[in-house]
Chains A and B, each alone.
Chain A
Amino acid sequence: MNDRLKRVYIPMSETAFYILFCLREEMHGYSITQKVKAMTDGEVVITAGTMYGSLSKMEKDGLIRFVREEEKRKLYVITETGEEILGIEIARIKRLYRNVGGK
């Protein structure tokens, strides 16, 4: 695992976390925003510029990859490296949760 990626992505912003989490299935930008909205009762709203910037950056860093295009919408999916980073972050969040009294 690349140390630079760990430094940049862990701990992860809520935006980055939900994007990576959603991309365990292939999706495009707007559908990620819709899904995240539903998952968080409208609390987390990822807007257009932030989504475009995040996807470009994650693709460049090799966390996600472009799969195909559908009506000019680019679909992405998480890579092995992305899974690894996401796993580390999930473990970190679970530890946080345990330490504040969750089960």
Chain B
Amino acid sequence: MSDNARLTTHKIFLLPDYEKEGEYLTKMHSVGWKLEKACAYSQHFVKCEPENVVYKLDYVANKVDYPEYIKMYADYGWEHCGRVAGFDYFRRNADGLSEKEMEIFSDPQSKLNMMKRVIVTRMIPLLILFILVLVNIYLFVINSTRFDVNMVIFISLLYLFVFVLYISVFIYCIRGFRKLKKKYTE
């Protein structure tokens, strides 16, 4: 019998999926997999007794008082259990807690504020990167006569792939944020 059985999953949670990620981690803990380390595109678990533990993600840009921030969450009973790309992961045992105590935000305005922070400090830089990619494609196209034909086809396909990937991710994110906004405001 191994006490330290481990499991890694590779779920991709994009920018508007922070609530879904919390729900996923909560579900994993309820079937005996405790989060050991969260990464950008993978989740590492260690075997534990199934427990009713709730996970939440917070995002605070430009945190200047990080130890005090963690301490405040600890005062409320939240254990800090990860940090990925500016998102902080917290968990706490949910036995006997009220609905309100299982949340990290107690009013819709603070949920909206978190969403806005994610959009401004993470989504907008992605957009800028995308514009740079477009500029790159443009430069390639106007210079393409200077390259070998096979090379041009290969690079064009590569760019097309990146382009489609980016657009898909953007559409997914915009729809996700819209859904969240609707949920928070109705």
Asked if residues B75 and A30 are in contact (CB atoms below 8 Å), the reply is yes
Interface size (A, Cβ < 8 Å)?
23
Q: In which size bucket is the chain B interface? A: 20 to 34
As a 0/1 sequence over residues 65 to 96 of chain A, the CB contacts with chain B under 8 angstroms (1 = contact) are 00001011110000000000000000000000
Closest to A54 in B: B110
Chain B CB count within 10 A is highest, among A49, A50, A72, A74, for A49
Given contacts A29-B72, A30-B76, A72-B68, contact A47 B114 (CB under 8 A): no
Asked if residues B110 and A48 are in contact (CB atoms below 8 Å), the reply is no
Provide the residues of chain B in CB contact with A69, threshold 8 Å: 68
B31-39, B44-52, B96-104, B155-163: which lies at the interface:
B96-104
As a 0/1 sequence over residues 130 to 162 of chain B, the CB contacts with chain A under 8 angstroms (1 = contact) are 000000000000000000000000000000000
A72 CA / B66 CA spacing, docked (Å): 10
Closest to A49 in B: B104
Given contacts A15-B107, A74-B65, contact A48 B72 (CB under 8 A): yes
Give residues of chain A (20-44) contacting chain B, Cβ–Cβ below 8 Å.
28-30, 33
Provide the residues of chain B in CB contact with A13, threshold 8 Å: 107, 109
Closest to A14 in B: B107
Asked if residues B114 and A49 are in contact (CB atoms below 8 Å), the reply is yes
Q: Does B177 contact A (CB under 8 A)?
A: no
Checking A14, A47, A53, A56 against B76 with a beta-carbon cut-off of 8 angstroms, the contacting residue is: A47
Provide the residues of chain A in CB contact with B60, threshold 8 Å: 52-53, 56
Task: Name the distance in Å between B140's Cβ and chain A's nearest Cβ.
Answer: 44
Nearest 5 A/B pairs, CB to CB: A30-B75, A49-B104, A72-B71, A48-B76, A50-B110
Q: List 8 A-B contacts (CB under 8 A).
A: A14-B107, A30-B72, A30-B76, A45-B106, A52-B69, A53-B114, A54-B110, A69-B68
